[in-house]
């Protein structure tokens, strides 16, 4: 029983972090209708910013997370303005080609700059607690709490703030939003930067639990797309639910069988969901 609880707690922790990555990706797609395949590279860069902040410069962990989020927000906004804005309204394959190019450039540059040896981010807190016979580290508790706070904060931001309402309006109908006086170009770079920042924060937190390498973005991108497809393109709630489902699969199946079987089962679950819900669990049909 304690083993099952242990896997469940780990699955929730993983699922919340997966959800952060996927929510950032679905936010970008929902607003701009583009495929940002280099989203995992934002995840990777966020982790390395925190690594140098803490391990190399010896500065505090949480301010480093904030600095990482701000830097990657700026990078995401810059990429949107310089690379993706000219592609707005064009065939989605153009944005896919550009983002694939970014994957090669950022990943390759990362290997040259950061090296290929795995690195680790010092833990923010130490120790843990026993819950029903299962051990849960304080670090995972804090990371889960921060993930929940960010998700709830994003939900409140999108529903209560003027900018958040504008983001929702542009995601729902960009032409009508523009006619109402909303500056859609401004909303685009804000959404792109915000989605990138969420990926960076997830990278910071996962980087303190696991080792980091410049190629870690690829798997993060695959996971994010799996979750977004499962939950539904453009759905924040779907990204969260999909993240929790994938986190539980990874935790339980990887622990009891193997990581390869967990990956296969994840795709099987996606196929089954798409058979009965072609738009995903909470998605809508996009034209």
Binned at pLDDT 50, 70 and 90, residue 231 comes out as confident
Tens of pLDDT along 71-96?
999 999 999 999 999 888 777 788 88
How is the chain classified by DSSP, letter by letter?
Answer: -HHHHHHHHHHHHHHHHHHHHHHHHHHHHHHH----TTHHHHHHHHHHHHHIIIIIT---HHHHHHHHHHHHHHHHHHHIIIIIGGGTTS-HHHHHHHHHHHHHHHHHHHHHHH-SS-B-PPPS---EEEETTEEEEHHHHHHHHHHHHHHHHHHHHHHHSHHHHHHHHHHH-HHHHHHTT--HHHHHHHHHHHHHHHHHHHHHHHHHHS-B-TTHHHHHHHHHHHHHHHH-TT-HHHHHHHHHHHHHHHHHHHHHT-HHHHHHHHHHHHHHHHHH-TT-SS-----
* pLDDT of 286: 46
Tens of pLDDT along 159-188?
999 999 999 999 888 888 888 889 999 999
The pTM assigned to this predicted structure is: 0.92
Tens of pLDDT along 180-229?
889 999 999 999 999 999 999 999 998 888 889 999 998 889 889 889 88
The fold adopted by the segment(s) 2-276 is ABC transporter involved in vitamin B12 uptake, BtuC (1.10.3470)
Binned at pLDDT 50, 70 and 90, residue 34 comes out as confident
* pLDDT of 273: 87
What percentage of the chain carries pLDDT values higher than 70?
A: 98
Least confident stretch, 1-5, 76-80, 274-278: 1-5
Mean pLDDT of 238-254: 89
């Amino acid at each position: 029983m304690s083993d099952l609880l242990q896997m469940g707690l780990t699955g929730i922790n993983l699922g919340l972090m997966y959800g952060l990555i996927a929510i950032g990706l679905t936010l970008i797609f929902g607003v701009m209708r583009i495929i940002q395949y280099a989203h995992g590279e934002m995840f990777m860069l966020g982790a390395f910013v925190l690594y140098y902040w803490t391990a190399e410069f010896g500065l505090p962990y949480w301010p480093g997370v904030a600095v990482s989020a701000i830097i990657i927000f700026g990078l995401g906004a810059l990429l949107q303005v310089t690379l993706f804005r000219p592609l707005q309204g064009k065939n989605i394959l153009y944005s896919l080609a550009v983002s694939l190019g970014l994957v090669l450039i950022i990943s390759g540059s990362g290997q040259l700059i950061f090296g290929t040896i795995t690195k680790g981010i010092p833990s923010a807190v130490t120790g843990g607690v026993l819950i029903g016979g299962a051990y849960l580290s304080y670090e995972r508790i804090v990371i889960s709490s921060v993930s929940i706070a960010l998700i709830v904060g994003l939900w409140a931001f999108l529903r209560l703030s003027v900018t958040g309402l504008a983001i929702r309006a542009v995601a729902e109908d960009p032409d009508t939003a523009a006619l109402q006086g909303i500056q859609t170009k401004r909303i685009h770079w804000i959404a792109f930067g915000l989605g990138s920042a969420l990926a960076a924060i997830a990278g910071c937190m996962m980087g303190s639990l696991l080792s980091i390498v410049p190629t870690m973005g690829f798997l993060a991108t695959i996971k994010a797309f799996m979750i977004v497809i499962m939950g539904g393109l453009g759905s924040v709630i779907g990204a969260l639910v999909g993240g929790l489902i994938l986190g539980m699969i990874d935790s339980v199946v990887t622990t009891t069988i193997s990581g390869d079987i967990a990956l296969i089962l994840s795709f099987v679950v996606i196929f089954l969901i798409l058979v009965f819900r072609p738009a995903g669990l909470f998605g809508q049909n996009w034209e």
